[in-house]
Every structure is written in C-alpha cells, then in structure tokens.
Chains A and B, each alone.
Chain A
Amino acid sequence: MSKRWISLLIPVVSIILGLLIGAIVMLATGFNPVDGYIALVNGMVGDSYNLGETIRTITPYVFAGLAVAFAFRTGLFNIGVEGQLIMGWLAAAYVGYAFDLPPVLHVIVAILAAAIAGGLWAFIPGLLKAKLQVHEVIVTIMMNYIALHVVNATIDTLSDGKEKTETIHTSASLGSEFLQSLTDYSRLHWGFAVALLAVLVMWFILEKTTRGYELKAVGFNQNAAEYSGMNVSKNIILAMVISGMFAGIGGAMEALGTFGNIMKMTAFSGIGFDGIAVALLGANQPLGVLFGAILFGALKNGGLNMPNEAGVPVEIVSIVIALIIFFVASGYLIQLILNKLVKKDTKTPKVDKKNVKGEK
C-alpha cells in the first residue's frame, strides 16, 4: 500500500468506524441503526429542502472554523469565537434594522459592522496578550460570558424589554426567494457564497501576503520573529482581530440569513465552540476547515431528522454524531495503526527471504 492510498483510506476508515460504533449504540438502546442512518442521510440530502437547510447549517460553522484556525496558525488559541460571533450577530442585526440603505450596500455594511464588532471583541484579549502576557485562553473564555450578557442586556434596551430585536429590513437580508424556491422554502441564503469567499480570503492572507507570512512566523517562534525584525505584539493583536472578524461575520450569517434578528440567549449558540472541532478536523487549513464544517453541519442538520423519521431520541443522536466526529478527529490514531500494518507487510517478506537463504 502506498502512502497515497493510506491518506485516502484514513477518513474513510474513520467514518466507517464511527458509523459502526454509532450503530452499536443504537442497537444497544433498542433502535434500528439502518433506519437511523437512512434518516440521517435523508436529513442531510434527502430532498431539496433538507439540502438547503444543511448548507445553511454549514455556513456559520465555516466562519467559526476559520476564526479558530486562523488563530491557531498564528500560535494563538482563540476560545472566544463564540463571544465574538454573538457580538457580530448583534451588530449585524442592529445595522440591519436601524439603518436605511440600498439593497446590496446594506448587506455589506451590516457584514462589515459584524466584522468590526467581532474584531473589537477579539482585540481586547489580543492586546492583553501582547502587552501584558495574559494568556488568551482565559481571557477569551471569560469574554464569552461577558458577550452573552452584554448582548442580552443590549437586546433588552434596544427592544424595550422584549425578547428579540426588530426584524432586519429586506435590503439587509441575505435570504433570497430564488434560493428558497429552489429548496422548497428552506432558509438557505447567500451566506454560503460569502463563506466560500472567506475560505479564499484566509488562504490568500496566510499564503500570499507578507503580513500573513509574518503572522505565521510569530506563531512558529516569537523570539525568532522578533530577532528578524518583526513587531511581535502588533502581529499578535492583528491575528486576534482578524480571527475575531471571521467569527463576527459568522454571526452576521445568523442575523442576516437564518433568523433576521437576534433573540435573548439563555445559553451559548455552541457554534463558536464547535468551531474549535471544525478547525482541528480541517487541520487548520482553509480548505480543510470547509470540509470540517460540511461534515459538522451535515451531521447536525441530518441528525434532526433521526427523531423525526426513525424515532431515535435526540440524546442518542448526539452520541452517534459525537462518535462519528470523534473517530474522524482521531484519524491520526488510525494512521498510526495503518502504518504499523503496512510496515509489518513490508517486513514479513524480508524475514521470509532470510529464512529461505538460511535454509539453503
């Protein structure tokens, strides 16, 4: 087996393993795994409606994944994507209903506002890290809670005690009747195009610009970067801000696409935290993040159909989905095992030859 085969085999084997263990869990709890998985696939791509909803679910995951991955690539752990995302959500929703602008411009302004809000929220941990060496993990985690309550309080003020903000004007909406008619009234919106664009942008920044090279260099080795004349603290702050901007735009997808407003949240949306897993699944590469987000979004949306079609309760669905992701994420383990197997394969004939020679 060549190396190439192995790298193709790993994701396939991981997914099959995940599905198998998931099937065992379903069997053990008294549900039919075949029905369950058919329902899962139907929920992902079964008809145009489900396909549309799946793409819609994937969209914010792409941004959350990119945000985490961008920070990782520059040596930072941004656990605050969740907070930056809901700040961006709020900003986009506010611009969406409070401003009156022409159609396309309105969307762009709202998305920019979300990027700025997310960027600002990430600026604080970036600054603290760069100037005072406060660890960004702690700060970003705490900033999540601050964001949650700031957002709830702001909604309360903006809406005069209501549960949500006004709905955005249609000029700010990413939704499109064309996409809805294609997908039987799903909430599919143009955000997926923005997400694809963002994947390109991240690749471009990191691989094609001097600034991107500097950011990565600081991530690899701060001392070396400083020695070669780079401004380390500036680059740390910039990396956090760009990461936060991706997260903020992810929030804008929810504000301008899925919901059209922002509701008071009793708990985190979870998108930002899932973004960590998405980034790791994608090995922190822009294209990898896209695939990670597709896997995550498809499983999440398909999972909704399992209780609906096969009667599998949500708790079991969560376990099955977690197992699949677990095995995909532990691809390294499977690679190790496969490598061992291959080595054995190549060793065995040699030993045989020796034996043959010895016999002679």
Chain B
Amino acid sequence: MVTDTGGIDDRSFNQSTWEGIEEFAKENNMTRGDGGYDYLQSAKDSDFETNIKNLVRRDFDLVFAVGFKLQDAVKTVATQQKNAKLAIIDEVVPDLDNVTSIMFKANEASYLAGVAAALESKTGKVGFIGGMEGDVIGGFQAGFQAGVAAADPKVKVDVQYAGSFGDAAKGQAIAKRMFDGGADIIFHAAGGTGNGLFTEAKERKKKDPKANVWAIGVDRDQYDEGKVGDTNIVMTSVLKRVDIAAKDVSKLTKDGKFPGGETITYGLKDKGVDLADSHGAISDKTMKKVDEFKAKIVAGEIEVPEKPAKK
C-alpha cells in the first residue's frame, strides 16, 4: 500500500486502509515485509510513482494506492507494467485491466449526517468545513446540505473550505468563526484540518460544560478525538469503510478473482459508508428519522446529489 501525503497515521483513510490490510494479513498469517504486506509513505506528490513502482518491483500481488491524487501515478505504472495489480481508492482509473477503482458514496452518509444535524441543532444553524474544493469533498458537502434541507429547510448551512487537509490551525479558526456565528453543529471533511474543529469544540466545552457545541467526524469513527472529561463533543462520524473495501479486494485477489478494470462503488446499501454510533448524542427521535431516510436511500427512493449546487 502507498499512502498519499497524509501519512499512515492520518486518523483517516490512509490509516483505515492499512487497518483493513492488517486485518486481512492476520487472517492469512502473513508477516510484514517481502512476501507479506507492507506500506510506503509519500512525502511529496512526486513520490507516488516511485513508491508504487518500488512495491511492484518487490513482487507484491496487489498494491493499494490511497487517494485521488495518485491517479496519474497508478495510470502510468499500470500501463508500463502489465503484470502489476493495482487498486486505487477514491478515484477511477478507467480502461486498464490491471487496475481496480474503489469509490465511496460518501454523499449518502453525509446526507444522513445532515439529517441528524438539522434535527439536533438548537440554533437553526450548522456548519460544514471542507478540505479542498473538488469532486471528492464536494460529495460530502452536497450530501450534507441535501440532508439538512430534507430534514428541516429552515436550518442554515455555513460552508467554508480551508484549502488544505493538513492545517489544523486554519480548521480551528474556521470552527471558531462558525460557532461564534451561531452554528452549534459542525461537520468536517477536511482530514487533518478537521482536528482544529475538535480542538475548538473541546476548548469551548472545557470552559463551559453546558456549551452546546458538536462536531461530526469523517472517514473513521472519530469519537476518541472528542473526549472532554466525561463528555464528548463528537456527535457522530461519517464512516467511509475503506478498511472493508481493502479487505474485500485483497480477498478477491487472493482467490484469483482480482476485479481488474472494474469500478467498485461502496454505498449505504453495502455498508461501505455509514454513520458511526453516536453514543447517545443523537436522540432516539432523530435516530428514527435518520433510519427512515437511510431506508429510502437504500431503496433508491432518494437520490443524493453528488455535486453541491452552484452558488
């Protein structure tokens, strides 16, 4: 597996992919290193291709490239080395028999987060912090906004992008502005930038245990990031089960059924995306509503938009 620039311990999808691979390795008694499983981290964009090639040259049966930024590198390596088997997460590399593309309908789970946020908000205002503008994060935003609008059209969504996935200070500044502006629940899809949201919310909770501030995490269950004494400011998290996907594809490859040339999309239906346990932060009444919407999405009655409406 090759990480993007977020690194292996990004508490987000790099880490999640690795956890899936580790789990698969454990089940199959594999050891770390040649002939088993391993990862390489990328510090710069120019490292992607070198890292993928290094792993291919070490004869790994399957190499995961994590993140849309690795698309070009995957395409190049796959074209040059027909025997290599590659899988890319969050991006589609079409028309190559030796590449599997793994996509997530993050907009569906974000929709549910939007529903929950709209119904739980006491101030009638919620926030969304995005990392970089674009198709991937746009999906989170679109789903969240649509969810809020569906549950309570009166609730306003304050949207702001940080322009970075690694700038926690900026995330905190944006969160501060949003809380000051009257938002009480903020959803982030901003990787490391989102850590600033947790810091800000926790500080407010520490100063005033009755403060009505909530954060919604992303990719992994970020409940552990939100602990303040006995309470927690993480309402729920929009899960992207990259670990499940990584395990699935590894298993298929092992059984000789590598889904090359295909795009596998994980949605609410196949539990590839979901909301995390709220640990009681979301009322039963809201949860019931969320489950109703969830059933409708799974049944195909609601089509969640993939792109935010143009301003």
Contact = CB atoms under 8 A, between A and B. Distances in A.
A49 B40 contact: no
A307 B80 contact: no
A270 interface: yes
Contacts of A267: 5, 164, 166
A264 B163 CA distance: 9
Interface in A274-324: 301, 304-305, 307-308, 311, 313-314, 318
Given A149-B163, A266-B165, A311-B33, A163 B135 contact: yes
A57 B72 CA distance: 18
Contacts of B55: 308
A352 B132 CA distance: 74
Nearest to B68: A163
A53 interface: yes
A149 B167 CA distance: 14
B46 A258 contact: yes
A264 B132 contact: yes
A308 B58 CA distance: 9
Given A49-B53, A263-B69, A163 B44 contact: no
Nearest to B69: A263
A270 B68 contact: no
A185 B80 contact: yes
A208 B208 CA distance: 70
A55 B43 CA distance: 18
A261 interface: yes
B83 interface: no
Nearest to B7: A314
Contact of B49 (A152, A187, A266): A187
A103 interface: no
A267 B80 CA distance: 29
Contacts, number: 70
A343 interface: no
Contact of B54 (A263, A305, A314): A305
A260 interface: yes
A161 B137 CA distance: 11
Nearest to B138: A161
Contacts of A326: none
Given A162-B134, A163-B134, A304 B165 contact: no
A314 B134 contact: no
A201 B132 CA distance: 39
A187 B51 CA distance: 13
B134 to A, nearest CB: 5
A259 B72 contact: yes
Contacts of A263: 45, 69
A306 to B, nearest CB: 10
Interface residues of B, number: 32
B259 to A, nearest CB: 24
B131 interface: yes
A313 B165 CA distance: 22
B50 interface: yes
A133 interface: no
A360 to B, nearest CB: 69
Contacts of B164: 266-267
B41 interface: yes
A208 to B, nearest CB: 35
Contacts of A264: 132, 134
Contacts of A258: 46
Interface in B7-53: 33, 40-41, 43-47, 49-51, 53
A260 B135 CA distance: 21
Contacts of A269: 44-45
B52 to A, nearest CB: 11
B133 A308 contact: no
Given A263-B69, A307-B40, A314-B43, A152 B135 contact: no
Given A163-B68, A270-B44, A156 B133 contact: yes
Given A162-B134, A304-B40, 16 more contacts: A161-B133, A161-B135, A163-B69, A163-B135, A167-B72, A185-B53, A259-B72, A260-B72, A264-B132, A266-B132, A266-B166, A267-B5, A267-B164, A301-B50, A305-B54, A308-B58
Q: 8 closest pairs, A vs B, by CB?
A: A308-B54, A185-B80, A266-B164, A314-B41, A163-B134, A266-B165, A304-B50, A258-B46
